[in-house]
Structure 1
Amino acid sequence: MNSAQLLSDKILQQALKSQATDIHFYPFTQNTNIYFRIQGKRILHTTISTVEYELLLTYYKFTSGMDIGEIRKPQNGTIPYQTNSQDYSLRLSTLPVNQLESLAMRILPQGKHFSLDQLFLFKNQLTKIKQWMNFRAGLILISGPTGSGKTTTLYALLEETLKNGSFQTITLEDPIEKNIDDILQVQVNEKAGITYQTGLKAALRHDPDIIMVGEIRDRHTAKFALEASLTGHLVLSTIHAKNTIGTIQRLLEMGLTRVELEQSLIGISSIQLIPIISSNESKRRAALLEILDGKLLSKAIQGENINFNHYKHTFFYLKRKAWSYGFISNETFEKE
């Protein structure tokens, strides 16, 4: 092993031991700070010299297939990593800053599959979104911030569904975060001409029952996903929005009409991860889901003024319930 590889291995081992989901390299002229994101919080891990960091960055860019000579443009890449018989995929992203390049790394476990039961704090929410998968056509959306578990939830839903039946399932992802058996997973690669739009067109020619679109980012992807759901396909996707009502607003801003949403949307689930109190003191987060479907979804799509205080689906109500049951601390309830 060369010095850069040794340093990389040391940092990764420490990150995995700390149960970090991300590593951030923040370079300055002389020194580079290394941060771990643990339980959603960004924590300073250590500082190395920028000379060391540049060697490390070159090593990462080379092994992930990036252009080593390109420092003016953002780049992305992936590296497989194995330790103690556990497989990981490292998702790398560079960003030019002040004559240097910062690096962000997402750590994605490959062999670790979460069941739906392990993901959610309240099991009745699990029952609800499982019922959505009984539809043979329509659009199911999971919204929330980066790192909240949207894609993990979709993976778990797909795996749960495939246990109970055989369905031609195709995913379009950027990047593929986890390899799953019995699913055709397509890597979006805009440089090679495989965009979400072209990928969707090709996927529809493969007679799919279920299509998962990694993320609805723009009006073109939104339109294609909607059209696929209206032509006899069950479409699952994620979108960045604060809550369920915010998801509807984003779709309207992308050019979809209320009539189209009324015809296609099965349900919207907005997700938040919160730290929970564990008896064995191990660190864990669980998901709360703000769910919108049925008649309430129809009213929201039509823009009716709804007093959500009368309903038990809001994040505020769910957090208060979690706090009253002793699942979360008072500090978490007030802060979150």
Structure 2
Amino acid sequence: MKPESLSEHIIHDAIKHGATDIHFSPEEVEVPTYFRINGYRWFYKRLILKEYQTLLSYYKFSSGMDIAENRIPQDGTLTFSNQRDSYHLRLSTLPLSLTESLAIRVLPNYQTPNLKDLFLFPNQSETLLKWITNQSGILLFTGPTGSGKSSTMFALMKEAIKRYGYQTISLEDPIERSVDQILQVQVNEKAGFSYDIGLKAALRHDPDIITVGEIRDESTAHFAFRAALTGHLVLTTIHAKNAHGTIERLLEMGLTQTELHQVLLGIASQELVPLTKTIQRKNGQGRAAIAELLEGQDLTRAINGFPPENSHRFITFQHLRRKAYAYGYTINPEKTTINTID
């Protein structure tokens, strides 16, 4: 099978099964391929190593990577369309001893979901809607890869535009999905179009909300907080294990407690939990979000080094998971099986 046809076949199957990621994990002779579906990794099929090498070269060339470079990790992007929707594919290679592994993130380009449909407990989305009424400061959406933090951030902006008519400008590198009514600006550091240049240009467009796609390093962390100090509301995402861990991560990136006190309004640390079949049939989703929401006095104390878990106001992931299971919303997370796609 030609690499173009094989690629289309694999991506079509991934979309059909609702996969968020495709993993190619090379061995000496074969390449096991997996789909991540509803947070779990499912075995899909095995490719012959030679067949995979041809497919890998096709992906690297098509996504703008250096096809001759196999000593360092590379990233690239592709688009994929079927009869119903279009998708943004984010590709990442990792050098191995004999070849390279490949991971593909599958991001739908279709309409951003409604905020109320994302969360298992409605009061959590209502809290985020209160946060968005602030005129200045920074809101952080945190969690591991695939936890839905970007979807929540864009859904919140969508609701803010609908309710308040906010002018919203997003600075992203790269732009992962197209969102209506948001001015999305592609930052390109290699071409000299930095976040700082983008911010200066964005401020001339009189924004109510500025978003930064993701805090990845010290540079973008300091940039996001500088943007908040302009007197605008800033929304951004960062990888962290929980709400309190987000503060520790920011301090490790060189931000000071004073800077956090000045502009940090709230932290929404999010994870997705699997739903029972009954709940899935009602809302059509395999998973829903729960979040540790850190704000107010608990946020202030956490910045000063006091864990929020000691406060009766702060609700932890452990409490939320137990509550969801007790209500019959989720399956028992301790029950695991070997996942294989038929």
Cα distance, 1:234 vs structure 2: 0.4
Matched residue pairs, number?
A: 333
1:295 corresponding residue in structure 2: 297
2:132 corresponding residue in structure 1: 133
**Cα distance between partner residues in 2 of 1:189 and 1:323:** 44
AA matched with 1:273: L
Larger mean Cα displacement after TM superposition, 14-23 or 307-316: 307-316
Change (3 A) 1:305 1:141: closer
**Cα distance between partner residues in 1 of 2:178 and 2:285:** 26
1:246 corresponding residue in structure 2: 245
1:187 corresponding residue in structure 2: 186
Instruction: Tell me the alpha carbon deviations over residues 94-142 of structure 1, each in whole angstroms, 9 at most, x when there is no partner.
Output: 2221131211101111114211111000000111011111011000001
- What are the residue-to-residue correspondences of 1:6-85 with 2, within 5 Å? 6-85=5-84
5+ residue gaps, structure 2: 337-342
Do the aligned residues in 2 keep the contact of 1:308 with 1:314 (CA within 8 Å)? no
- What are the residue-to-residue correspondences of 1:319-330 with 2, within 5 Å? 319-329=321-331
Cα distance, 1:277 vs structure 2: 0.9
Specify the SS of the correspondent of 1:215: strand
**Cα distance between partner residues in 1 of 2:241 and 2:300:** 19
Specify the SS of the correspondent of 1:207: coil
AA matched with 1:328: T
1:91 corresponding residue in structure 2: 90
Specify the SS of the correspondent of 1:42: strand
Change (3 A) 1:318 1:58: same
Change (3 A) 1:170 1:112: closer
Q: TM-score, normalised by structure 1?
A: 0.92
Q: TM-score, normalised by structure 2?
A: 0.90
Cα distance, 1:303 vs structure 2: 2.2
Change (3 A) 1:333 1:266: farther
5+ residue gaps, structure 1: none
- What are the residue-to-residue correspondences of 1:112-151 with 2, within 5 Å? 112-151=111-150
2:333 corresponding residue in structure 1: 332
- What are the residue-to-residue correspondences of 1:179-328 with 2, within 5 Å? 179-279=178-278, 284-304=286-306, 308=310, 310-328=312-330
1:157 corresponding residue in structure 2: 156
Specify the SS of the correspondent of 2:223: helix
AA matched with 2:135: R
**Cα distance between partner residues in 2 of 1:264 and 1:113:** 28
Do the aligned residues in 2 keep the contact of 1:120 with 1:287 (CA within 8 Å)? yes
AA matched with 1:298: T
Sequence identity (%): 52
Specify the SS of the correspondent of 1:146: coil
RMSD of the alignment, in Å?
2.1
